[in-house]
Amino acid sequence: MKIMISGKGGSGKSTLSVLLAKALVKANCEVLLVDADESNMGVRRLLGAADSDNLMENMGGRQSVKTELWSETASQTDNELFKSGMKIADLPDGCVAEADGVKLLVVGKIQNFGDGCACLIGALSKTVLSKLDEGDNAMVIIDAEAGVEHFGRKVDSVCDLIIGVVDPTYESFMLSVKMQEMAAMAGIEIVFVLNKTDEAVTEVMAEHLDSDKVIAQIPFHKDIFSQSLHGKALSTNLPEVEKLGHFLKRYRKPVNLNVA
Ligand SMILES: Nc1ncnc2c1ncn2[C@@H]1O[C@H](COP(=O)(O)OP(=O)(O)OP(=O)(O)O)[C@@H](O)[C@H]1O
Ligand SMILES: [Mg+2]
C-alpha cells in the first residue's frame, strides 16, 4: 500500500512519516519511506539513516532524468526503474539507506542556486511510484512537500491513501478542506491525523473536520520536539502512532470511490 503524507508546512509530516515507518516495521511490514520533499533535508536525519545517493543524482542528474522521463513517456525506455511491476529490491542499491529496518529513498533535492524548479522531482516521484509494485505486505510511506503541489502534479493518483496531517492552526483546517476536495477529484481516500493536540484544541479542530475521517490524535510530545530541535534521530516511539500502524496494516482500499 502506498500512503501519501500531506499537510501544511510544519504540521508534522516528516515526524509522522518517520515514526509511522518505524511503527510499521515493528508490526512486521516491509517499509519503504520515500522522501519526496524537494526542499527539506530532515527525513534522513529524523530516521537516523546513513548517507545515500538521491535518486536523481544516481540517475545522472537533471538532464539525464529529463531524457529518461521523456523516453518513458514515448515508451522507449530500457530503464528497469520504469518497468511496471518494479519491486523495492529493484531500486538502485546506492539509493537505498536503511535504519531500524526502514528503507529510505530520497527522490531529489534542489541543492544549488539556479537548479531549476521542482517539477522534475515531482515527475520522477510520480513515475517511479506508479511503476513500483510493493507487494501485499509492504508499506510505502511518502513524505510530501508542504501544501498541495503534489495534488497539482497528480502524484497522489498513484497512491492508495492520503493522510492529511493537521496541526492546531486555522490555516491547517482550511487546507484540510482543500485536500479533501482534491482527494475526491483524484478518487483517492483521505483521512486525517490531528497532531500536537490536547483536549481543548481537539474540540476546536472537531468543528472544522469530519470526525469520521480523523483516524488518530497525537499530542504534543516534548521528547519529539527536543530530539528534532537538537538535530537528532527520533528515538521515542509514540503509542498513538503504533496504534495507527496497526490500523493501517489492516486497512483495505475502498472499491467504490466516485471520481468527481
Ligand atoms: N507530536 C509532536 N509533538 C511535538 N513536536 C512535534 C510533533 N509533531 C511535530 N513536531 C515538531 O514540529 C516541527 C515540524 O515538524 P516536521 O518537520 O515533522 O513538519 P513537516 O510538516 O514535515 O514540515 P515541512 O513542511 O517543513 O516539511 C518540528 O519541530 C517537530 O519536532
Ligand atoms: Mg517535512
In tens, the pLDDT along 96-150 reads 999 999 999 999 988 888 787 778 899 999 999 999 999 998 999 999 988 888 8
CA 220 to ligand 1: nearest atom:
3
> How far, in Å, from the CA of 223 to the mean position of ligand 2?
18
259 is a domain residue: no
Give the structural domain span for 96: 2-250
144 is a domain residue: yes
% pLDDT > 90, the chain: 67
| One-letter amino acid for residue 200 of the chain | A
| 45: pLDDT strictly greater than 90 | yes
Residue 12 Cβ inside 6 Å of ligand 1? The answer reads yes
Residue 9 Cβ inside 6 Å of ligand 1? The answer reads yes
What is the predicted pLDDT for the residue at 101?
97
What is the predicted pLDDT for the residue at 259?
44
Query: Who wins on pLDDT, 207 or 29?
Result: 29
Q: What is the mean pLDDT of residues 189-211?
A: 90
Residue with C-alpha cell 505486505? Answer: 137
Task: Return mean pLDDT, the chain.
Answer: 91
Q: What is the mean pLDDT of residues 208-232?
A: 94
Query: Who wins on pLDDT, 258 or 70?
Result: 70
List, in order, residues 6 or more apart from 34 with CB less than 8 Å away: 105, 107, 125, 129, 140, 141, 142, 143
Read off the pTM.
Answer: 0.94
Query: 253 falls in which pLDDT band (50, 70, 90)?
Result: low
Query: 7 falls in which pLDDT band (50, 70, 90)?
Result: very high
Query: Who wins on pLDDT, 63 or 102?
Result: 102
258 is a domain residue: no
Q: SS3 letters for 57-87?
A: HHCCCHHHHHHHHHHHHCCCCCCHHHCCCEC
Angle between helices 170-186 and 199-208 (to 10 degrees): 40
54 is a domain residue: yes
Please give the Cα distance from 36 to 121 (Å, whole number). Answer: 8
> How far, in Å, from the CA of 14 to the mean position of ligand 1?
7
**SS3 category, 108:** coil
What is the predicted pLDDT for the residue at 149?
82
Give the residue whose CA is nearest to atom 30 of ligand 1: 225
104 is a domain residue: yes
What is the predicted pLDDT for the residue at 155?
80
257 is a domain residue: no
Report the domain count for the chain: 1
Please give the Cα distance from 195 to 218 (Å, whole number). Answer: 5
What is the predicted pLDDT for the residue at 178?
94
Q: Which three cell numbers stand for residue 224?
A: 519529539
256 is a domain residue: no
Q: What is the CATH number of the domain that holds 73?
A: 3.40.50.300
Q: How many CB atoms are located within 10 Å of the residue 119 CB?
A: 12
CA 219 to ligand 1: nearest atom:
1
| 27: pLDDT strictly greater than 60 | yes
Query: Who wins on pLDDT, 41 or 50?
Result: 50
> How far, in Å, from the CA of 237 to the mean position of ligand 2?
18
What is the predicted pLDDT for the residue at 146?
84
List, in order, residues 6 or more apart from 114 with CB less than 8 Å away: none
Q: What is the mean pLDDT of residues 155-160?
A: 85
| 256: pLDDT strictly greater than 80 | no
Please give the Cα distance from 252 to 242 (Å, whole number). Answer: 18
Element (H, E) at 186: helix 170-186
Q: With contact defined as beta carbons under 8 Å apart, do 37 and 143 qualify?
A: yes
Query: 208 falls in which pLDDT band (50, 70, 90)?
Result: confident
| 257: pLDDT strictly greater than 60 | no
Cα 159 to Cα 45, 46, 61, 92, 186: the distances in Å are 25, 23, 26, 21, 10
170 is a domain residue: yes
